Structure 1
């Protein structure tokens, strides 16, 4: 009789060391990792508390205003009544004087913008990182922040004790108040300029003034001129407000006729202010677009 072949298993019934292990499919990878655990859900306690605090501040502010809630429904009717008094029959007899006072307001705004730009551009360039030293840069930035914190009306009220009730007071207040914002725009614009030209001028032995003149100014000039025109637009609106405190211009005329309740003249003055402001905004906006983008290309007629 032939001998029966031996079983591949050992006497203990274990498979050989090279065979598949018990309980694992033959096709399963041997290095499989467990699935990563999901991150914990973010806590909503902080945002909820912040929202509750903001809501409490709003409620306290509204409660402190002493609002007559019962009369809120009468406001639309009152607004319609005063709009009729203002614009139903405007008094155009005072139009020549209104145009003259508007011209004074525009002159005040223009002089304020020129003074602001003339001071803020060199100071703003010195406040830019990489131009002025730290002992000059940080005090200038602090000065800009302090000026921005004081409204134009407050500056004009302080200047009234020195210069008196004249349009020059308004122009000076606009010039001083604009330095804070304009100076910030200047140093932020200069810091955004590419450093290649500045490094080239410094490598050629240029001083800080030469770097500002030949590297920074040509690159930043379009944006700075655009900001200067925008400053003029802001001054046009602010000059009317300064006139309410006696600085001259169309604002003073508006204040006087409002106090005497001559609503037909006030309506005419408002029409003049809105029309002149929109016209100046239109012209200034077109100039700013040409500065930033250049002139529009014109179509050439090639027909023989």
Structure 2
């Protein structure tokens, strides 16, 4: 006789239908959108804009472009170049003032370097300075220094401390490694930690930020000239007030070309600092 075979019963397969995820609520996003839209409408209504004038804007723009650049007046070019150089000098002096002050203060504002109370004070100071535009600082300085290019340079230097100081302490906090602790373990002071541990690690980034500050100052120096701080901005403001549009066009060409040239030179130097010098053999092969 053959042994009876037992058939194992297979359990019935129950396939559970996956439930669809809950639809995310967009109530918060809708509320934010409504609030932003209401603010925009309130701002637009408060300006009392005559929207019928928008149709005449393109024709007016073309008209004044023809007055300025068809053709520009090149008789004042030597003086324009002199004033442009004054604006560049003002921007450079302002950048030096900013960097010299912001680097040590920014290092003290970094975590692990200065005490907590000092970090709080310095970061608050940087925030206050960033909240005040360069033009306001220049207007406050006019009562002390008068209408001189030094006023513009000092305003650029003070206004840049807020942004530059923030860049410094963020850079220091991102590059901190064991070198700072090693210097402290060897008995080094805060100044020695900054000199021998932090500065070598952050030098390239901080110098790059300093050159970028100089680029920003070049653009801002033209704006400060509009309030009498000197430079190409003052010349541009004067000829605009007297409606000498052909001279204004020449000045705009000089400002744009000078800004582009300085940006190109500064950008090349910043890339050299960040990337380092290439070996001569590599330069020839490339």
**TM-score category by the smaller chain?**
over 0.9
Mapped partners of 1:245, 1:60: distance in 2:
31
Q: What SS class does the counterpart of residue 76 from structure 2 fall into?
A: helix
Matched residue SS, 1:137: helix
- Total equivalences in the alignment: 279
> Which deviates more from structure 2 when the two are superposed, residues 268-277 or residues 63-72?
63-72
Give TM-score, length-normalised by structure 1. 0.87
Is 1:52 the equivalent of 2:34? yes
Deviation at 1:50, TM superposition (A): 1.1
- Distance between the aligned counterparts of 2:39 and 2:268, measured in 1? 43
Distance change in 2, residues 1:301/1:273 (3 Å): closer
- The Cα of 1:296 is off from its aligned counterpart by 3.8
Match of 1:111 in 2: 93
CA distance in 1, matches of 2:52, 2:20: 54
Task: Give the one of 189, 197, 203 matched to 1:215.
Answer: 197
Aligned with 2:207 (options 225, 229, 232): 225
The aligned residue for residue 83 of structure 1 is 65
Normalized per residue, the structure richer in helix is: 2
Structure 1 gap ranges (5+): 1-18
Find out whether 1:26 has 2:9 as its counterpart. yes
SS in 1 for 2:72: coil
Q: 1:33 to 1:211 in 2, by over 3 A?
A: farther
- For 1:262, which of 232, 244, 256 is the aligned residue? 244
Instruction: For residue 295 of structure 1, report the CA deviation from its aligned partner.
Output: 2.5
Q: For 2:53 and 2:90, how far apart are their aligned partners in 1?
A: 40
Q: CA deviation digits over 1:141-171, x for unaligned, max 9?
A: 0000000000000000000011100000000
| Structure 2: distance between partners of 1:74 and 1:301 | 55
Give the 5 Å matches for 1:1-304: 26-28=9-11, 39-299=21-281
Runs of 4+ in structure 1 off by over 2 angstroms are 32-42, 295-302
Query: Which has the higher Rg, Structure 1 or Structure 2?
Result: 1
Normalised by the size of structure 2, how large is the TM-score? 0.92
Task: Provide the residue aligned with 2:3 in structure 1.
Answer: none
Q: Distance in 2 between matches of 1:98 and 1:73?
A: 35
Q: Could you say what secondary structure the match of 1:26 adopts?
A: coil
Q: 3-state SS of the aligned residue for 1:43?
A: coil
Q: Distance in 2 between matches of 1:300 and 1:200?
A: 36
Residue segments in structure 2 that go unaligned for 5+ positions in a row: 1-5
Cα-to-partner distance string for 1:200-250 (whole Å, 9 max, x where unaligned): 212222111111111100000000000000000000000000000000010
Give the Cα separation in 1 of the matches to 2:147 and 2:80.
Answer: 19
The offset of 1:199, in angstroms, is 1.6
- Aligned CA-pair RMSD: 2.1
SS in 2 for 1:61: helix
Query: CA 1:198–1:104 in 2, change beyond 3 Å: closer, same or farther?
Result: same
